[in-house]
């Protein structure tokens, strides 16, 4: 079979170029033409914003590098070389150096103590007098001693040889005296002269000689001291329209409505008033004018007698159970016993301290004994018959202000400036009950309730506190009376006989009635408030009769009347009388 005759055909290279393998490609880069001139750049180009160092405010938050960048610009030609010198602190340039802490502290303390220190630039091997800074003379005197170096030690004192221990008589042991010891220390002549001069000056400045007690005398102001039957004014009157001997307790007491009478006679403030025991037909008052006066409560209400015997103001007075005698306590440091009828001073008592309060023992068999609260923190008990001190109660820490007998007169309660209340057994000088709280204030006026179960205490924080008067003597927190202002004055308080009201004086010259049940203040007594220009003091403690007597500050005694029936009991500077119909008080 014949094969076809074939011949190779020419192929177009472009048509098969995509089938050919790739040839190696050499990369070449063209040179870039830089037309900028060549400049020697020493620093990187900064694109940040520069801040004027004289600006006081910056309106944006710059970076730290921008804020604290160094200043560039022309040099200040007015800066000195010292000012232009580089510095890393306010005063100059500080270089770090090694320094021993002990040596630095040694020189610092030496300079503060002795006034000199070693120059740190001087070599320690070449120290001389010129090497010190500060008190050079002191350094030469002490030879450059530091505070850590001691000078020459003084020789110790030598003792006498103790001897042989086997010989008892001659052995001295550790009790031997020093060799140069003097047995008698006698001042020299010059020292003795100085001591004599000092002693003479002290004697001149010393206390004056004790003043003799004032002469006692009395003035009778009425002609009819005795009636047609020979009875004195101490006799209970029966022609006043009221039975003064009655012991009937009222069913209800009423508030005072108007003022009945004002007694005038004292020239200075009245410090205390007391009614005659039982009947209350006489009123005894003591004043800052050093006088004691006896007044009529009924009839003409005259001043019957004046007792003069204190050289200074009279602080307190107290009747005995029968009213025939009374005690007075004055700032002249004397307690005096007076006869109410004749005005004679029976006896006087003193321990050279100021008595602040005085009380007879209410028991009939102890009428010869009385107690007084003194300024020397003691309660002193005297016997009238012997005139001597028979007992002292000295547990208080301040002047004693009040003494109140409780529990059928077997005990008594005392208050003091030490802000405490203490309960004592009679004739036992140790208190068996002590009441003192951090929140308590001084209580300069205390009154026993008619039932004998409660004690009303005038606290200096403008409150009336009620304490139990039996057994525990605990504070009755439900019976706290507020609403009046005492302002630092010893305004006495009292109970109404029916235990419905508590009566208190006020620093504004008011008589404050407080309800015992609701603790609310009754509107003030307008009649009593008239004529009261300053602060009332404490009311009498034994007011009886038909009146409530009020404390004032205008040297008068006020008497107000209560409408309605009833019986009152007195106590302090304001008090209800034995029938609860009237009230009276003292003024200052």
For the residues of 285-327, what is the DSSP string, one character each?
EEETTSEEEEEESSTT--EEEEEE--SS-EEEEEE-SSSSEEE
Q: In the predicted model, is pLDDT for residue 562 greater than 60?
A: no
- Rounded to whole angstroms, the Cα distance separating 385 from 369 reads 9
**pLDDT of residue 435 exceeding 50:** yes
Q: Would you say residue 563 has pLDDT above 70?
A: no
Supply the pLDDT for residue 162.
Answer: 76
What are the pLDDT digits (tens) for 9-49? 666 777 777 777 766 656 566 667 778 777 766 555 556 67
Measured CA to CA, the distance from residue 195 to residue 362 in angstroms comes to 55
3-class DSSP string for 537-573: CCCECCCCCCCEEECECCCEEEEEEECCCCCCCCCEC
The confidence score (pLDDT) of residue 152 equals 62
Residue whose entry in the numeric block shows the structure tokens 């004056």: 208
Residues 492 and 541: beta-carbon distance below 8 Å: yes
Mean pLDDT, residues 324-331: 95
Q: Tell me the CB-side half-sphere exposure of residue 331, using CA atoms within 13 A.
A: 11
Look up the pTM and report it: 0.61
Structure-block tokens of residue 81: 């070389």
* pLDDT interval class at 568 (50, 70, 90): very low
pLDDT of 157 reads 79
Calpha distance 27→12 (Å, rounded)? 30
What are the start-end ranges of the H helices in 181-303? 189-205
pLDDT for 512 equals: 84
Q: Which of 7-21, 67-81, 118-132 has the lowest mean pLDDT?
A: 7-21
Band of the pLDDT at 368, cuts 50, 70, 90? very high
Q: Stretch 536-544: mean pLDDT, rounded?
A: 32
Cα–Cα distance list, 331 to 192, 213, 288, 309, 391 (Å)? 41, 12, 9, 12, 22
Q: 386 Cβ partners below 8 Å, 6+ apart?
A: none
What is the pLDDT averaged over residues 335-346? 95
Query: Quick one: pLDDT at residue 564?
Result: 38
Q: What is the pLDDT of residue 427?
A: 93
Kindly state the tokens that stand for 365.
């068999």
Question: Is the CB of residue 469 less than 8 Å from the CB of residue 452?
Answer: yes
pLDDT at res. 309: 93
Please give the pLDDT value at position 547. Answer: 47
pLDDT of 423 strictly over 90: yes
| pLDDT(538) > 60 | no
* DSSP letters for 361-387: --SGGGTTEEEEEETTS-EEEEETTT-
Share of the chain above pLDDT 90, in %: 37
Q: Which of 42-46, 199-203, 381-385, 579-583 has the highest mean pLDDT?
A: 381-385
pLDDT tier, 63 (very low <50, low <70, confident <90, very high otherwise): confident
User: Confidence band (pLDDT; 50, 70, 90) for 544?
Assistant: very low
Which pLDDT score, from 0 to 100, does residue 24 have? 61
Q: Sign (positive/negative) of CA torsion 572, 577, 581, 583?
A: negative
Residue 372 has pLDDT above 90, yes or no: yes
Residue ranges of domains in the chain, CATH in brackets = 250-586 (2.130.10.10)
- Tell whether the model's pLDDT for residue 398 goes beyond 90: yes
What's the pLDDT band for 65 if we cut at 50, 70, 90? confident
Q: Is the pLDDT of residue 8 over 60?
A: no
Distances (CA, A) of 450 to 455, 502, 575: 10, 12, 12
Confidence at residue 289, expressed as pLDDT on a 0 to 100 scale: 92
**Dihedral angle over CA of 175, 179, 183, 189, nearest 10:** -150
Confidence of residue 419 (pLDDT cuts 50, 70, 90): very high
What was the pLDDT predicted at 572? 39
Between these two residues, 29 and 276, which has the higher pLDDT value? 276
What pLDDT digit, counting tens, does each position of 134-182 carry? 888 888 888 888 888 876 666 777 888 877 778 877 788 888 888 877 7
pLDDT of residue 41: 64
pLDDT of residue 342 exceeding 50: yes
What per-residue confidence (pLDDT) applies to 89? 86
pLDDT for residue 73 is more than 80: no
Say what the pLDDT of residue 26 is. Answer: 61
- Range with the largest mean pLDDT of 87-101, 261-275, 308-322, 570-584: 308-322
130-143 b/e with 16+ CB inside 10 Å = b? ebbbeeeeebeeee
What are 485's two structure tokens? 């202002």
């Amino acid at each position: 079979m014949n094969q076809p005759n074939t011949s190779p055909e020419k192929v177009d290279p472009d048509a098969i170029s995509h089938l050919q393998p790739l040839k190696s490609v050499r990369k070449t880069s063209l040179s870039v033409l830089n037309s900028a001139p060549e400049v020697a750049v020493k620093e990187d180009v900064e694109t940040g914003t520069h801040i004027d160092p004289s600006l006081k405010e910056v309106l944006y938050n710059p970076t730290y590098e921008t804020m604290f960048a160094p200043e560039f610009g022309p040099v200040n030609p007015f800066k000195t070389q010292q000012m232009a010198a580089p510095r890393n602190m306010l005063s100059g340039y500080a270089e770090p150096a090694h320094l021993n802490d002990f040596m630095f502290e040694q020189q610092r303390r030496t300079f503060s103590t002795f006034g000199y220190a070693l120059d740190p630039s001087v070599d320690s091997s070449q120290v001389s007098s010129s090497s010190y800074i500060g008190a050079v003379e002191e350094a030469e005197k002490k030879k450059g001693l530091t505070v850590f170096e001691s000078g020459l030690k003084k020789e110790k004192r030598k003792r006498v040889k103790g001897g042989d221990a086997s010989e008892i008589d001659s052995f001295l042991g550790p009790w031997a005296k020093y060799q140069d010891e003097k047995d008698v220390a006698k001042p020299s002549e010059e020292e003795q002269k100085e001591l004599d001069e000092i002693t003479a000056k002290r004697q001149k400045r010393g206390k004056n000689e004790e003043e003799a007690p004032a002469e006692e005398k009395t003035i009778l102001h009425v002609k009819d001291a005795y009636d047609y039957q020979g009875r004195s004014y101490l006799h209970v009157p029966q022609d006043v329209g009221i039975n003064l001997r009655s012991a009937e307790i009222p069913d209800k007491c009423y508030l005072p409505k108007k003022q009945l009478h004002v007694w005038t006679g004292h020239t200075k403030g009245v410090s205390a008033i007391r009614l005659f025991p039982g009947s209350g037909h006489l009123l005894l008052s003591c004043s800052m004018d050093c006088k004691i006066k006896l007044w009529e409560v009924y009839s003409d209400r005259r001043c019957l007698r004046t007792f003069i015997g204190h050289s200074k103001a009279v602080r307190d007075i107290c009747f005995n159970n029968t009213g025939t005698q009374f005690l007075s306590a004055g700032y002249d440091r004397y307690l005096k016993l007076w006869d109410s009828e004749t005005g004679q001073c029976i006896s006087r008592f003193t321990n050279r301290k100021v008595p602040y309060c005085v009380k007879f023992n209410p028991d009939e068999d102890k009428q010869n004994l009385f107690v007084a609260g003194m300024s020397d923190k003691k309660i002193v008990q005297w016997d009238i018959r012997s005139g001597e001190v028979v007992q002292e109660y000295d547990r208080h820490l301040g002047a004693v202000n009040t003494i109140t007998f409780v529990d059928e007169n077997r005990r008594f309660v005392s208050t003091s400036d030490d802000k405490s209340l203490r309960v004592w057994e009679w004739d036992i000088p140790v208190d068996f009950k002590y009441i003192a709280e951090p929140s308590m204030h001084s209580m300069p006026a205390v009154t026993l309730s008619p039932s004998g179960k409660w004690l009303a205490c005038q606290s200096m924080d403008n409150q009336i506190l009620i304490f139990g008067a039996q057994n525990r003597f605990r504070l009755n927190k439900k019976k706290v009376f507020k609403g009046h202002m005492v302002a630092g004055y010893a305004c006495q308080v009292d109970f109404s006989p029916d235990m419905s009201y508590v009566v208190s004086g006020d620093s504004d010259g008011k008589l404050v009635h407080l309800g015992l049940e609701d603790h609310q203040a009754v509107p003030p007594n307008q009649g009593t408030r008239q004529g009261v220009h300053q602060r009332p003091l404490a009311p009498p403690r034994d007011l009886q009769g038909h009146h409530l007597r009020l404390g004032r500050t205008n040297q008068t005694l006020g008497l107000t009347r209560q409408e309605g029936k009833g019986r009152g009991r007195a106590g302090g500077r304001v008090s209800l009388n034995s029938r609860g119909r009237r009230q009276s008080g003292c003024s200052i």
